[in-house]
Structure 1
Amino acid sequence: MIDWNDLRHFLAVAESGSTLAAGRMLRVSQTTTARRVAALEDALGLTLFERSPAGYRLTEAGADLLPHARAVERSIHALTDTAAAQGREVSGTVRVTCQEIHAVTILTPILRDLHAAYPSIRIDLDTSEAIRDLASGAADVALRNAVRPSGGGLVGRRIADDAWTLYCSRAYAAEHGHPTRRDELAGHPLIGGGERLLWELYRAWLVTNGLEGGVAMHNSSATGLLAAVRSGFGLAVLPCIAADNDPDLLRCLPPMRGEERGLWLLTHERLRHTPRVRVVVDFLAARLTALARTSG
């Protein structure tokens, strides 16, 4: 089955002439765009672009498929516009709770699009480290990382693996090199910290690999880790679902091993059929699942 996200990257490369420019248009990495185009070629059994140092040029097969891909794009936009028109009748406040790092990286652009589609829904976003009790009404929807969520009456779905690993910025790699193995990490400054539970896992990993002495700065929040990495200070662990889709960041190592934690989208069973909550859950689930496919 053809994935719309693969078609979207095909159209962007066809328009811009390169995976780098297309990645910037779509706010993903060049590697992600190239992988998406390759996946579409594999699914179709066709070569869609001639690749050269000058860029990507459509093959005859690619040029033949281009108008059909544009027709699919128009149909999807029409479907989205129709759904948005119907969704304007849904209104009210939905309280969403999540980790701050997910709020500032992946959720904000999704919530922007949610507002465009459903302008009468207001989102109250809670980024407290405390786990809100959905049963008591402390929040309506939660994006939560866990092996398996605990709590009575919770319903939802596992969006993706909650994978974290070390990243550096492209600017840092250009100046200091891009370590891609554990034995290459010596001498690179590490940024420690994050929320309490994250730091427990992160610190244990550093100790196991003899790297705790390389921590040059400590941040009390995961967003502090992100800011420090983006600044070029050094390396830190970040969530793959966010960092892999940031064109300014580079993954240094495979994801850290640990429990099979997942990223879960949850609500309470008494709210699952409330229209405004159902709309928010379905919208977030679709967009987060698509985003998860581009990481890793």
Structure 2
Amino acid sequence: MIDWNDLKYLLAVAEGGSTLAAGRALRVSQTTVARRIAALEQAVGYPLFEKRQAGYALTASGEALIAKAQSVRSAALAFEEAAAAIQRGTAGTVRVTTIDLFANTFLAQWLVDLHERHPDVRIELDESGAVRDLGAGDADIAIRSTSSEAAAGVVGRRICRDEWTFYCSRTYADRHGVPRKREELRGHALIGGGGTMTWQVYEAILRDIGIADQVVIQQTTMGGLLTGIRSGLGIGVLPCLIGDGEEDLIRCMPPRREKKRWVWLLTHERVRHSPSVRTVVDFLYERLAARVRQLGLD
């Protein structure tokens, strides 16, 4: 009968290339590793390693079994994480609200990573952009931009300034050049829209410059605004937290710091000490702070 613990010795030798390296990784003696490998080979009935001058190499039989051993290790680690999560009480549903632009860019991949790290946490994602009342329980966590004081009981962490500016794709820049001042936007095709609230501010800027008639397509969402800019059809505005992280986009000009709006990660006093909510808040803050540092924002 196979001792399942011996599989960790099999993997350690396969990955380290020797019983010495495996012993160091597992914090046991080299003799113990060699003894457990011998026991495993006896249990399966054939050699799993070939001893060479440079170390240990898997036999053909060992190669055939190594993926199965890795699956056993993954299952064991997942079991440990699930057991620990139950002990910590992190299991539960957490409702997160934000704008579609955040939800469908960086947040999409982050939630994959969150699930892998905390499979016991279930996320309900509201990407409508509507301002949900955290105090009334409409959501547990919000990633939103605001210039006003937080409502009573709402607590959070400030992420960065909510600055927007004009961006174009690299293909658009190759064909038409990059305007470096607002006045230079005249003559360029523009992507409009972004939703009612965004378009009200955006359109006012275009009218102030005198280029509102240069909009060639109107998008109904902020995600559509990003898609239109990526396509190379024209130039449009995006938050720097998004635009500066897009490899295929070029920032046309620095943002104007006329209004003091900030991106916040918010929750409410009623749920902030819930293990599942705290787990998600800490995870998102870690990722958001890293993105801000990477992009050089403040």
Instruction: Compute the displacement of 1:184 (Å).
Output: 2.1
Q: Report the equivalent of 2:226.
A: 226
How far apart, in 1, do the equivalents of 2:294 and 2:231 lie? 24
Aligned length: 215
How far apart, in 2, do the equivalents of 1:265 and 1:125 lie? 14
User: Identity of paired residues, percent?
Assistant: 48
How far apart, in 1, do the equivalents of 2:140 and 2:282 lie? 13
Alignment-mate amino acid for residue 286 of structure 1? E
How far apart, in 1, do the equivalents of 2:256 and 2:193 lie? 16
2:259 is paired with a residue whose SS is coil
Alignment-mate amino acid for residue 145 of structure 2? N
Decide which structure has the larger Cα Rg and report it.
2
1:218 is paired with a residue whose SS is strand
Q: Report the equivalent of 2:38.
A: none
Q: Report the equivalent of 2:151.
A: 151
Instruction: Compute the displacement of 1:188 (Å).
Output: 0.9
Q: Report the equivalent of 1:254.
A: 254
How far apart, in 1, do the equivalents of 2:81 and 2:179 lie? 49
Instruction: Compute the displacement of 1:149 (Å).
Output: 4.5
Q: Report the equivalent of 1:273.
A: 273
Q: Report the equivalent of 1:165.
A: 165
Q: Does 1:177 align with 2:177?
A: yes
Q: Report the equivalent of 1:29.
A: none
Q: Report the equivalent of 2:104.
A: 104
| Contact 1:167/1:236 (8 A) holds in 2 | yes
Alignment-mate amino acid for residue 114 of structure 2? L
Q: Report the equivalent of 1:45.
A: none
How far apart, in 1, do the equivalents of 2:265 and 2:137 lie? 16
Q: Report the equivalent of 2:241.
A: 241
How far apart, in 1, do the equivalents of 2:85 and 2:249 lie? 37
Q: Does 1:132 align with 2:132?
A: yes
How far apart, in 2, do the equivalents of 1:192 and 1:148 lie? 26
Residues 52-102 of structure 1: CA distance to partner in whole angstroms, max 9, x if unpaired? xxxxxxxxxxxxxxxxxxxxxxxxxxxxx99x9486442111000000001
| Contact 1:164/1:238 (8 A) holds in 2 | yes
| Contact 1:146/1:261 (8 A) holds in 2 | yes
How far apart, in 2, do the equivalents of 1:157 and 1:97 lie? 15
Normalising by structure 2, we get a TM-score of 0.68
How far apart, in 2, do the equivalents of 1:256 and 1:192 lie? 19
Show structure 2 runs of 5+ residues with no match.
Answer: 1-76
Instruction: Compute the displacement of 1:183 (Å).
Output: 2.9
Show structure 1 runs of 5+ residues with no match.
Answer: 1-80
How far apart, in 2, do the equivalents of 1:283 and 1:154 lie? 19
Q: Residues 249, 88 of structure 1: CA spacing in aligned structure 2 closer, same or farther, 3 A cutoff?
A: farther
How far apart, in 1, do the equivalents of 2:288 and 2:148 lie? 18
How far apart, in 1, do the equivalents of 2:189 and 2:257 lie? 22
How far apart, in 2, do the equivalents of 1:206 and 1:245 lie? 24
Q: Residues 190, 257 of structure 1: CA spacing in aligned structure 2 closer, same or farther, 3 A cutoff?
A: farther
Residues 123-152 of structure 1: CA distance to partner in whole angstroms, max 9, x if unpaired? 110011321111111111001100134422
Residues 183-238 of structure 1: CA distance to partner in whole angstroms, max 9, x if unpaired? 32121101111122211211121122222122111111111110101111101101
> Mapping of 1:1-296 within 5 angstroms?
85=81, 88-89=85-86, 90-295=90-295, 296=297
| Contact 1:148/1:262 (8 A) holds in 2 | no
Residues 233-253 of structure 1: CA distance to partner in whole angstroms, max 9, x if unpaired? 101101111111110111011
Alignment-mate amino acid for residue 261 of structure 1? R
1:206 is paired with a residue whose SS is helix
Alignment-mate amino acid for residue 141 of structure 1? I
